[in-house]
Amino acid sequence: MAIGAWFATEFDEPVPARELPAMFASGGDAEVLIADQVSRGVAIVGRVQSGSGAVVLKVRTGGRAVRVRIDLHVDDASQTAWSRAAAPTRGMRELPRLVTVRAQGTDRAAALISRQRGRLRMVEAHAWVEFDLRAEEVGADGLLIVEVVDGTVPPWASTALSPAAATGVRINQIEIVAIDEAEGHAHTERFTGAAAQLAGLVSAGGLVGARGRGQGQARSRFFVVNAPEPTVRCRLRISAATAPPAAVRQPSQKWLRRQQGQTVLRAFRVAQRGAGYALFEASPFTRPPHPDQLTVRGAHLIGGTECRVSATPQGEDTLDVVIERTAPGPVLVGLAERDNPVVRRRIAETACQVVELERHR
């Protein structure tokens, strides 16, 4: 008996499967059969409400392999939902989120999402992930199960990445297309940083802009490599970014929960960010470190084992990082300074931006 037979009663009308190419951009579509720990949206598929959320889609693949492409998004409402679930204490900061995307119960890709720190406001971030499914992985019932869950963070990065990372993340849209069997690729391919993030090959904080196409500024010292090839080279531009802002906290006083109180809190956060940015620009501790002063580590996010990485400085602010994968699945790469004074950590932090990705088949 097909799994889908258990999801209906004799009073339910059968839902027809969506034909390929399929675009899911609303949680109210009939083909979005189930939303588990995901609040359905009208102009988006939905928003994850806990440490994991799943949607079940009905598509007709016709026995073909398919490529799935997902737009994940973090905005102000994401941080509000996160603060309710995580209950951050005083002094906690808004840290980058590491989330894992599963399909049919198997980890497929990961995304590192971090909002860009503007002078007066935080800029929303989009992270794109893309993966392929074999023909036999989507059964005759046409059910595709997509999950967004908290990523498994290695111990050396646990204090620098956000807990409850999936809470509040928006699933903007899910695209599903058939894979051309004759599709060919060059032995070596190069992508710019923005193109690599848009294609889901790498995730370095996400893209910015209303449609999630702009590279934006460097905002994290971590990035995730989703490219499946055994050897991937990433060229990084090293810079300094302002220290992460204070995490949004839910007020304990009743008057602060009202509209006037929320207006006061928003104005205070804007003033706080502006003061922090001014301190960052005036401080002598905000010069980026030389690539020679950085150490690089990598970890397989499936299994948690160390991944071999090597780094070669290419100039005053450029570093080539080569990832040599020994197991399938996404790899988390992180940079760290060998000597990072406490004063500097309070004002600024090292950030990297992927400017080029080269993969070898």
Residue ranges per structural domain of the chain: 3-360
**Higher model confidence: residue 147 or residue 12?**
147
Provide the 10 A C-beta neighbour count for residue 262: 12
Query: Which two three-digit tokens encode residue 48?
Result: 């994850």
- CA distances, 251 to each of 2, 165, 178 (Å): 49, 21, 48
Structural contact between residues 68 and 61, judged by C-beta atoms closer than 8 angstroms: no
Q: Average the pLDDT over 336-353 and give the result.
A: 72
- Which pair of structure tokens corresponds to residue 17? 């499967």
User: Could you tell me which of 304, 271, 285 has the C-alpha nearest to residue 100?
Assistant: 304
- pLDDT tens, 265-320? 667 666 666 666 665 556 666 677 888 889 999 999 998 899 999 999 988 889 99
Identify the pLDDT of residue 343.
Answer: 47
Residues 34-76: tens digit of each pLDDT? 999 999 999 999 999 999 999 999 999 988 999 999 999 998 8
Tell me: pLDDT of 1 over 60: no
> Is the model's pLDDT at 324 over the cut of 70?
yes
Res 172: pLDDT: 95
- pLDDT score of 4 more than 60: no
User: Which residue, among 357, 312, 336, 67, has the nearest Cα to 203 in the 3D structure?
Assistant: 357
Residue of higher predicted confidence among 139 and 299: 299
List the structure tokens of 216.
Answer: 């934006």
Contact 260, 251 (CB under 8 A): no
Beta strands in 134-284 (DSSP E): 143-150, 170-178, 188-192, 202-203, 222-225, 231-242
Residue 338 to residue 295: CA distance in whole angstroms: 7
Which whole number is the average pLDDT over 159-178?
A: 93
pLDDT of 244 over the 80 cut = no
The residue among 341 and 201 whose pLDDT is bigger is 201
Per residue in 186-223, pLDDT (tens digit) is: 567 899 999 999 999 999 988 887 677 778 888 889 99
pLDDT at 325 over 90: no
* Whether the predicted pLDDT of 5 surpasses 50: yes
pLDDT computed for residue 327 by the predictor: 84
Which token pair is 131?
């993966």
Distance CA 340, CA 218 (A): 19
pLDDT band at 137 (very low <50, low <70, confident <90, very high): very high
The residue-averaged pLDDT of 218-243 equals: 89
300 near 327, Cβ under 8 Å? yes
pLDDT over threshold 80, residue 145:
yes
* The two structure tokens encoding residue 239: 């810079």
CA 208, CA 185: separation in Å to the nearest integer?
A: 28
> What is the distance, to the nearest Å, from the Cα of residue 40 to the centroid of all Cα atoms in its chain?
20
Among residues 82, 87, 54, the alpha carbon closest in space to that of 70 is found at 54
Average confidence (pLDDT) over 165-172: 94
Q: What is the pLDDT of residue 262?
A: 63
Cα separation, 315 vs 96, in Å, equals 27
Q: What is the pLDDT of the chain when averaged over all its residues?
A: 84
- Measured CA to CA, the distance from residue 227 to residue 199 in angstroms comes to 10
Please report where in the chains the tokens 């502006």 appear, as a residue.
Answer: 274
